[in-house]
A and B are shown apart, each in its own frame.
Chain A
Amino acid sequence: MSEIAAPAKGKSLKELDRAVVRFAGDSGDGMQLTGEQFTTESAWAGNDIATLPNFPAEIRAPAGTLFGVSSFQLQFGSQRVYTPGDRLDCLVAMNPAALKVHLRDLKPGGLLVVNTAAFDKRNLDKAGYAANPLEESTLAERYRLHKVDMTGLTYEAVKDLPLGTKEKDRTKNFFALGLVSWIYTRPLEPTLEWITKKFVKNPSIAEANTRVLKAGHAYGETAEIFAEHYTVEAAEMAPGLYRAMTGNRALAWGILAAAERSKVPVVYGAYPITPASDILHELALHKRFRVRTIQAEDEIAAITAAIGAAFGGAIGVTGSSGPGIALKGEAIGLAVTAELPLVIFDIQRGGPSTGLPTKTEQADLMQAMYGRNSESPVVVLAPATPGDCFYVAYEAVRIATKYMVPVMVLSDGFLANGSEPWLIPDPQTLPPIEIGFRTEKEGFFPYLRDPATLARPWVRPGTPGLEHRIGGIEKQDVTGNISYDPDNHDHMVRTRAEKVRRVAQEIPPTTINGPATGDLLVVGWGGTYGAITAAVERAQTEGRAVASIHLRYLNPLPPDLGHILREYRKVLVPEINSGQLVRVLRAEYLVDAVGFNRVRGLPLASEEILEAITQLVEGHV
């Protein structure tokens, strides 16, 4: 897809194998859109990509303030890209607040592009700058500073168009996009196409955005301040058809795939909550798959509607974030004891309570495993990348319906909104979801069990002769009749646990990234996959006997895990929490695993994981 880029006249073209770029500005500056378009351009250029959108929780945060800053970061490369990158090669700051918040992440000597027009007294005050940093020498000494009057150049490009000042002003992000696209030799076509499609009903706006985008690009090419620009070759990626995929969309599409494959309708119950709402929005678009979405009155109604649907023989799914999952706890217990299939998405965010709604965290593992009254085990799965969410959602439906259990899927804010180039699978290659509703009257009892899975029969109401009653009260095994018998309760507690344990039959052998035995094993789960893999591969190139595994099945754990853990001298468990999986591993396997924990609302950086690896291997901890 990438053409051979020729250097612009009088400018040198350098080849890089990867670059990390961040666009930062006011929430109203359109940074998310700019980042998304730059991502699409990079995908066209054939690079591997990882993205990190980061925006304030406030819908319309006051302009110019530090907390109103919104940013979008991506790393693109000619080799495998695992993370959005730790340190920035290029920072675009649309105003003083953005500079103030993000400058510390820019590498020394990195490219710093600022919109000078926004550096007026008011904005400087709001950002807490006593003096204009652009006028001091430090910035230019430490970074390759490019001061560009983006606002002025934007107005100039659109001055004869019949648009108001506000409308004109709102196109300046495309100037930044055009300029950075030139710097990194990105194709403009996808953005030009997007503009045409998006503003088909508003030709003046389309024209303005097109002109401004091109003006930014031309500015890079002609302005003398840019002496060089860069190219990043296409990555060696598995051949096939690709698309950009975010985690939330992938979860939704995984459910659609499961609905199609199982030929059973889906009821998705949800209450709006950041960062899970997009799953509801996405599923609501696809009625043709017989996916019925309920925007419920609250979190409890959302899950109980899904449970009611499951009782009726549909695939019940609910999705939320940590605070909502807490509210759903009692209902999850009902699904556990009624032994109905149910899929629960938890898109983890910073907590406790409201916490950091738009930021990521991995601190709901304990809630997923134990956060209900009494003995209430559920299956817990975690996707590793945005695209992996597709497979995990599908797998969740498969397991839930095969074992008649609730399955919790732990995604997070980073996976939910982040995107990656995703190799589109052939849906035929997905494992079948075989749902056999019981219709046979002879010998029927509601809690009869399949000998292999211990699943009870799933009966659709409407089936003659199989009328039965189930509920939350303890019931006798097999007959399902209410039972307060002590031994029966003990038996049922064990049976429900054993059913979840048997899901281990479904787990494929664990993939080990690195040597099968060595000094250190890094164990991760969920959205830290990229950062851990990048860190471990760096450690390996440094010659260390380090390997990593990434757990997709958290309950039950893979049957080969205990054995693998013992093949390494030390075990490191990086998590965005205060040490949750590490506790589980220590308790389960009596292994002296060590945690690496940062809870900053941000993805872990591979650099910090590498440092933890180095320290542990060298015996500093």
Chain B
Amino acid sequence: MSAGGAEAKEAPKYTKKDFESDQDVRWCPGCGDYAILSAVQKAMPDLGIPKEDIVFVSGIGCSSRFPYYMNTYGFHTIHGRAPAIATGLRLARPDLKVFVVTGDGDGLSIGGNHMLHVLRRNVNVTILLFNNRIYGLTKGQYSPTSELGKVTKSTPVGSADRPVNPLAFALGCGATFVGRTVDRNIPHMEEMLKRAARHRGAAFVEILQNCNVYNDLAWNVMYDKEQKLQYELRLEHGKPLLFGPQDDRRAVIMDGVRPKVVTAKDVPASALWVHDESNVNAAKLLADLFAPDFPVPIGVLAAVAGPVYEEIMLDQEQKAISERGPGDIAKLLTSGDTWRIS
């Protein structure tokens, strides 16, 4: 039961419009969230899930307004807690397809603990983490993914804390699906969303997102045409890690136990690092690669099968019921040591 009984029902033929709610979208003009919303709404019909079986859960932050704009069930909750809300929801309703929408502050700062546990439990939810490296809704403080030395209102002479890497964090938590995509690449986003949504277990997707008001072009390496050409590494299962312009193709290879960038034509095909989504250890190395020393990988870093929390829990329940019958409170009350007074 990957998305649970949801797949049993025949979903009508939807279009993007079917997933647009009647609420006015209230992000700042130019915010990357618009593109993500559009990509999600576009990807939805292809999932083939009746929209009444879909729930979007979010915490607090700009990204967390997301559920209001989806014409599905939605729950906009409290700061950082969406993964825990979603866990309870899945345990109550394994037949629903549950998405968690969060951001770098919501998901990795105040909700970091819940993110750890939803991933390690491998609850069947699709987690979209919009990473803009800033607190937007509270008007521009540095976030747990901001670079060291970040000058913001709360850090006038630069932040003193090192950033967390969301992908490395997710893999460290034992996530069974980890991917990255970019808000300015709608087709890639759609593809990632669909892959993640179809994964059985917790799927974690980092979406590099632009906050044009408080942290414009934080991901310029993925936006600027020239830089993107130089640094974007498209991960594809079974394909070697090659990137860069056609006339200057480069490769990431393993030099001993370290990744290294080399000119592609200088190494034999047998020495290339071929991407394998089932190799979580390799994914952990990929998670740490970033410009300027390395390319920026986008795509699916890891996708492996793992036991799903709520499936185990519900199997235990089914087993108990099939072996001993459903609970009977009258029987329970009179079980064990009792005595009669007449």
A positions within 8 Å CB-CB of B: 1, 40, 43-44, 46, 190, 234, 237-244, 253, 256-257, 259-261, 265, 267, 269, 286-292, 294, 296-298, 300-301, 304-314, 316, 330-331, 333-334, 338, 424-428, 460-473, 481-482
B333 within 8 A of A: yes
Contact indicator A427/B87 (Cβ below 8 Å): no
Q: Given A237-B341, A241-B339, are A469 and B88 also a contact pair (CB < 8 Å)?
A: no
Kindly state the separation between the CA atoms of A44 and B89 in the bound complex, as whole angstroms: 45
Contact indicator B21/A290 (Cβ below 8 Å): no
B91 within 8 A of A: yes
With most chain A CB atoms within 10 A of its CB, the pick from B74, B88, B316, B338 is: B88
Contact indicator A304/B96 (Cβ below 8 Å): no
Give 11 A-B pairs besides A306-B88, A316-B92, A428-B330 with Cβ atoms closer than 8 angstroms: A239-B342, A253-B332, A286-B327, A297-B114, A301-B114, A308-B57, A467-B71, A467-B73, A469-B76, A470-B75, A472-B78
B261 within 8 A of A: no
Q: Given A256-B332, A467-B72, are A243 and B337 also a contact pair (CB < 8 Å)?
A: yes
Kindly state the separation between the CA atoms of A289 and B334 in the bound complex, as whole angstroms: 16
Q: Determine which of A1, A304, A467 lies in contact with B84 in the assembled complex, contact meaning CB atoms within 8 Å.
A: A304
The smallest beta-carbon distance between B297 and chain A, in angstroms, is 29
B116 within 8 A of A: yes
A-chain residues with CB within 8 Å of residue B338 when the two chains form the complex = 241-243, 424
Contact indicator B337/A472 (Cβ below 8 Å): no
Kindly state the separation between the CA atoms of A241 and B320 in the bound complex, as whole angstroms: 28
The smallest beta-carbon distance between A144 and chain B, in angstroms, is 31
Q: Given A242-B338, A286-B327, A468-B73, are A311 and B52 also a contact pair (CB < 8 Å)?
A: no
B-chain residues with CB within 8 Å of residue A190 when the two chains form the complex = 337
The smallest beta-carbon distance between A202 and chain B, in angstroms, is 21
Contact indicator B93/A314 (Cβ below 8 Å): yes
The smallest beta-carbon distance between A80 and chain B, in angstroms, is 13
B77 within 8 A of A: yes
Kindly state the separation between the CA atoms of A40 and B53 in the bound complex, as whole angstroms: 52
B-chain residues with CB within 8 Å of residue A460 when the two chains form the complex = 93
A-chain residues with CB within 8 Å of residue B113 when the two chains form the complex = 297-298, 301
Kindly state the separation between the CA atoms of A96 and B145 in the bound complex, as whole angstroms: 60
Nearest B residue to A243, CB-CB: B338
B281 within 8 A of A: no
- Interface residues in B222-256 (C-beta closer than 8 Å to A): none
B317 within 8 A of A: yes
With most chain B CB atoms within 10 A of its CB, the pick from A40, A304, A308, A472 is: A308
The smallest beta-carbon distance between A208 and chain B, in angstroms, is 23
Q: Given A239-B342, A427-B329, are A469 and B84 also a contact pair (CB < 8 Å)?
A: no
B-chain residues with CB within 8 Å of residue A256 when the two chains form the complex = 327, 329, 332
> What are 14 inter-chain pairs, A to B, with CB distance below 8 A?
A241-B334, A242-B338, A253-B329, A256-B332, A261-B329, A287-B317, A294-B88, A297-B84, A308-B57, A312-B96, A461-B53, A461-B96, A469-B21, A472-B76
B85 within 8 A of A: yes
Contact indicator A469/B329 (Cβ below 8 Å): no
Interface size on B, residues (CB 8 A): 60
Contact indicator B114/A309 (Cβ below 8 Å): no
Q: How many A-B residue pairs have CB under 8 A?
A: 210
The smallest beta-carbon distance between B13 and chain A, in angstroms, is 15
Contact with A along B148-182 (1 / 0, CB 8 A): 00000000000000000000000000000000000
A-chain residues with CB within 8 Å of residue B342 when the two chains form the complex = 239
Contact indicator A307/B85 (Cβ below 8 Å): yes
B340 within 8 A of A: yes
- Interface residues in B74-104 (C-beta closer than 8 Å to A): 74-78, 81, 84-93, 95-96
B-chain residues with CB within 8 Å of residue A309 when the two chains form the complex = 88-89, 91-92
B-chain residues with CB within 8 Å of residue A463 when the two chains form the complex = 52
The smallest beta-carbon distance between A424 and chain B, in angstroms, is 5
A-chain residues with CB within 8 Å of residue B93 when the two chains form the complex = 312-314, 460-462
Contact indicator A331/B341 (Cβ below 8 Å): no
The smallest beta-carbon distance between B76 and chain A, in angstroms, is 3
By Cβ-Cβ distance, the 5 closest A-B pairs, closest first, are A471-B76, A305-B88, A308-B88, A289-B327, A314-B92
Q: Determine which of B50, B74, B89 lies in contact with A308 in the assembled complex, contact meaning CB atoms within 8 Å.
A: B89
A-chain residues with CB within 8 Å of residue B314 when the two chains form the complex = 292
B270 within 8 A of A: no
Q: Determine which of A242, A269, A298, A334 lies in contact with B340 in the assembled complex, contact meaning CB atoms within 8 Å.
A: A242
- Interface residues in B42-68 (C-beta closer than 8 Å to A): 50-53, 55, 57, 60, 67-68
B313 within 8 A of A: yes
Q: Given A301-B81, A424-B333, A473-B76, are A465 and B52 also a contact pair (CB < 8 Å)?
A: yes
Contact indicator B117/A305 (Cβ below 8 Å): no
Nearest B residue to A302, CB-CB: B84
The smallest beta-carbon distance between A400 and chain B, in angstroms, is 15
Contact indicator B67/A287 (Cβ below 8 Å): no
- Interface residues in B303-342 (C-beta closer than 8 Å to A): 313-314, 316-317, 320-321, 324-330, 332-334, 336-342
Kindly state the separation between the CA atoms of A467 and B321 in the bound complex, as whole angstroms: 32
The smallest beta-carbon distance between B273 and chain A, in angstroms, is 35
Contact indicator B327/A259 (Cβ below 8 Å): yes
B138 within 8 A of A: no
Kindly state the separation between the CA atoms of A288 and B329 in the bound complex, as whole angstroms: 10
